[in-house]
Structure 1
């Protein structure tokens, strides 16, 4: 009996791990990938992107995320746009925020990025009144 219970617990944990690894976005993922407040100081925007992409786990030798945007504002500024919105809706801020857009320019031997700063509105995907995916930014 105990062995059967242990078996089902292991299966449940495996299923949970697989679902978490299958790209189901969460608010914590969103914060990790897209928020940097205050903006991490660096000598220039390119260096900022190279450091931040590696620090946040989006660039490894041979595996580089091609594009990522960091938003430099408090989390509450982005969660308010999701308040009382249906799950999976795309919501756009009325306010403009400082952002840094990092674009991959070389992937070998290491990931190298070109960075650009903008003051943009932000469009996010909302689930459970929280942003879980940064869809785009624009003037």
Structure 2
């Protein structure tokens, strides 16, 4: 292989690696933006108002669409990163999809649309509780919350 071809092949490989990193970054950003709220955002009013506010702030309400359900995790970044250190197991979907389970129940708020919800006025109902979660990890960082 000529020197020019080697440089071109090396640049192509570097580009593909950068693209893979950007894809992983995008997935991780999506996870942290859509599912992590620590410390929990303080909202005046009812618990349902928390969901109305946080879903709006996180871009899950648009002029044409209300996300129907979403979970917010109220735990530290290190707690979430540590989940990726647990032994992986199948998630319950395709056998090739591996998840990591939290070793203890985590604080969560589930937000689900009320029956009357119509964009852009999406009304949400909040359910706060603790339970173990399953996440898909890439390079030691959660990128997907597996919700059953």
Q: TM-score, normalised by structure 1?
A: 0.74
RMSD over aligned CA atoms reads 2.5
Match 1:100 to one of 109, 119, 134: 109
**How far off is 1:104 after superposition?**
1.2
Compared CA separation, residues 82 and 54, structure 1 to 2 (3 A)? same
User: What is the match of residue 100 of structure 2?
Assistant: 91
Match 1:75 to one of 74, 77, 82: 77
User: What is the match of residue 130 of structure 2?
Assistant: 119
Structure having the higher strand fraction is 1
Other structure's SS at 1:107 match: coil
**How far off is 1:31 after superposition?**
0.7
Unaligned runs of 5+ in 1: 1-11
Q: Name the CA distance, whole Å, in 1 between partners of 2:110 and 2:26.
A: 20
Alignment: residue pair count: 118
Compared CA separation, residues 125 and 25, structure 1 to 2 (3 A)? farther
Q: TM-score, normalised by structure 2?
A: 0.70
